Homo-oligomer: A and B are copies of this chain.
Amino acid sequence: MKIPDFEDIIQAQLLTGGYIHQTPVMTSSAINRITGAEIFFKCENLQKTGAFKFRGACNAVFSLTAEQASRGVGTHSSGNHAAALAFAASIKGIQAHIVMPSNAPEIKKKAVAGYGGIITYCEPTLQAREATLSRIADINGLTVIHPYNNGKVIAGQGTAAKEFMEEIPHIEVMMCPVGGGGLLSGTALSVKALSSSCRVIAAEPSGADDAFRSFKAGYIIPSAHPVTIADGLLTSLGEINFEIIRINVDTILTVSEASIIQAMRLVWERMKLIIEPSSAVPLAAILENRGLFENQRVGIILSGGNIDLKNLPF
């Protein structure tokens, strides 16, 4: 288990820089007024495929040997990683096999197919997904790219915070959501390498608080029955992610579903940006803990913007 470091993030940026968007950083005087903080938002919802996941997927795919590339990549996912991996692979003319549960939303199936992914459907259980992926990977000799428990993926995700710190160097607190920990571990590596004083604070729905509990316990406690509107954060921490997080993250805060929806609505209404619920979790943590962030310069990575417009929480 190779733990990536900041040097890997520098390499990831060199390898993927020509293919990913250097996403804009936005501010909102209304949200600053409401929170009492000075918040900078890094808009990964405007990243290709609509989420930061494209960074890690590109780095993993572009790092393959020619021989690995010729055989293709695979993953099981019904979310942003699937679309990101399919698109990253298509850029290099590499086959991407995506195992999806048969009941995945039509819109997600279309997205993956639209990026050229080869979909294999399976029963909607984790066991079936893993077994199906394993079978397909063996048959085709695929390199399996885990959505977060993968050093190349982590290094790719870390390029977002690297860009962010280089553009806004005086950030005092860096925040992102935590699900499997891919974004958080990459972010923490970049922040701690680039600043001696900037704190890293993760935010997590209290209905899916395995990272919060694992961080306190010092060992991974997987989610049992996570329930949250933030559908990108249902997964449990990966091992590589946790190794990085327990050393480089300062705090993990949990938030209520009501705060997530309130924060999401603020970004939609005040910033005119479409973000998915997972992206709203850090701002929700600021709303719930005003005193912690007042008069601080805070960076938030808006992780993604893929949401079904027919199923909004307001």
Which residues in A have some Cβ–Cβ distance to B below 8 Å? 24, 26, 45-46, 50, 265, 268-269, 271-275, 305, 309-310, 312, 314
Contact = CB atoms under 8 A, between A and B. Distances in A.
A239 to B, nearest CB: 32
B45 A272 contact: yes
A199 B271 CA distance: 31
Given A309-B314, A312-B309, A268 B272 contact: no
Contacts of A24: 24
A274 B305 CA distance: 11
Nearest to A50: B272
A185 to B, nearest CB: 25
Contacts of A26: 46
8 contacts: A24-B24, A46-B272, A50-B272, A265-B309, A268-B274, A273-B274, A309-B312, A312-B312
Nearest to A308: B269
Nearest to A46: B272
A271 B310 CA distance: 17
Nearest to A107: B269
A289 to B, nearest CB: 25
Contacts of A309: 265, 268-269, 312, 314
Contact of A272 (B265, B273, B310): B273
B305 A272 contact: yes
Nearest to A26: B46
A143 to B, nearest CB: 27
Contact of A274 (B50, B274, B314): B274
Contacts of A45: 272
Contacts of A271: 46
A167 to B, nearest CB: 14
A275 B268 CA distance: 10
Nearest to A47: B272
Contacts of A50: 272
A34 to B, nearest CB: 11
Nearest to A29: B48
A191 B275 CA distance: 34
Contact of A310 (B274, B305, B310, B314): B314
A46 B124 CA distance: 41
A98 to B, nearest CB: 19
